[in-house]
Amino acid sequence: VHIRQRLSRAVELNKFTLAYQPIYDVCENRIRGAEALLRWHDEELGQVAPSEFVPVAEETGQIVNIGKWVLKQALKQVSQWQEKLDHTFTISINISPIQLHAGFSNDLSQMLKKYGVSAANIALELTESCNVLNNQDLRYWLEDIAKLGVKLYLDDFGTGYSSLSVLHNLPFHVVKLDKSFTGTDSESNRTIIAATLALAKALNMAVIAEGVETENQYTSLQSQGYRYLQGYYLSRPLRQECFSALLSPGA
């Protein structure tokens, strides 16, 4: 109840920020993108993790308003970086399926124009651990978004339900292998890591492995053919200024 109350004014009081966690291409040995991650500092509660407040905001519907702020903020930021980004560099933005509706792609298209951001530089991350992904309309909404040239990432792959039917039915371009599989070295996790890459390749999708925390994990994933990696070993989520500095080394 407390989080809910504090959340209700957080957008207008400007209490949110976005952090950017780099995603590396280990073949080309460079940053290929970043995930925008929401950060909330509340005077009373202190720093509250999205894993705590996003579920609350989804339940109350506050995520719609918060999600609008996130999208706008991320696009404004990308517009400032736009000249430094080539067309393969992608900033991915988490959205809750609750935010989607028939007019979403149209709104997004208007915002891209307004901020002068290329759709090619934007991806939306949706998590499959949400039964909304079975909604029939969702397919059309996602197809409309994909038609803009915005990419779609299936987040936390392997932890939710109906993973395989989601891959088959929805127009995702990229799967993000959940950090629970990269974090622990076990026989079954190695099997899942290999199978996910094979499956994604067969479906013509790319894979990003999340939660890469150690050199061992990095080396192991790379040798298994994983090209795109994200995690604390490579970089923590960075404040906007710090990420900006990475984009223009030496500047």
Site residues (vs ligand G, CB under 6 A): 21, 37-38, 49-51, 54, 63, 67, 70, 94-96, 127, 155-156, 179, 210-213, 231-232, 237
> Which has the closest alpha carbon to 33: 25, 23, 41?
23
Whether 48 and 42 have beta carbons less than 8 Å apart is answered as: yes
Q: Does 210 sit near Na ion (CB under 5 A)?
A: no
Which residues in the 23-82 window bind Mn ion by CB under 5 A? none
d(C-alpha 155, C-alpha 157), whole Å: 5
Whether 122 and 150 have beta carbons less than 8 Å apart is answered as: yes
d(C-alpha 144, C-alpha 123), whole Å: 13
Q: Does 178 sit near Na ion (CB under 5 A)?
A: no
Q: How far is the CB of 176 from Na ion (least distance, A)?
A: 7
Q: Does 128 sit near Mn ion (CB under 5 A)?
A: no
Q: How far is the CB of 95 from ligand G (least distance, A)?
A: 6
Continuous H helices in 61-171: 62-81, 104-115, 136-147, 163-169
Sole binder of Na ion in the list 58, 117, 122, 125 (CB under 5 A): 125
Sole binder of Mn ion in the list 100, 155, 196, 200 (CB under 5 A): 155
Residue 54 touches which member of ligand G, Mn ion, Na ion, none, C-beta under 5-8 Å by kind: ligand G
Kindly tell me which of 38 and 197 has the beta carbon lying closer to ligand G. 38
Q: How far is the CB of 32 from Mn ion (least distance, A)?
A: 16
Residue 33 touches which member of ligand G, Na ion, Mn ion, none, C-beta under 5-8 Å by kind: none
Within 13 Å and on the Cβ side, how many CA atoms surround 44? 8
Q: Does 128 sit near Na ion (CB under 5 A)?
A: no
Residue 142 touches which member of Na ion, Mn ion, ligand G, none, C-beta under 5-8 Å by kind: none
d(C-alpha 94, C-alpha 74), whole Å: 10
Question: How much of the chain is in helix, strand and coil states, percent to nearest 5?
Answer: 50, 20, 30
Kindly tell me which of 144 and 156 has the beta carbon lying closer to Mn ion. 156
Q: How far is the CB of 179 from Mn ion (least distance, A)?
A: 7
Tokens of 104: 């979403």
d(C-alpha 152, C-alpha 92), whole Å: 9
Task: Please report, as ranges, the residues that interact with Na ion according to CB under 5 A.
Answer: 94, 125, 155
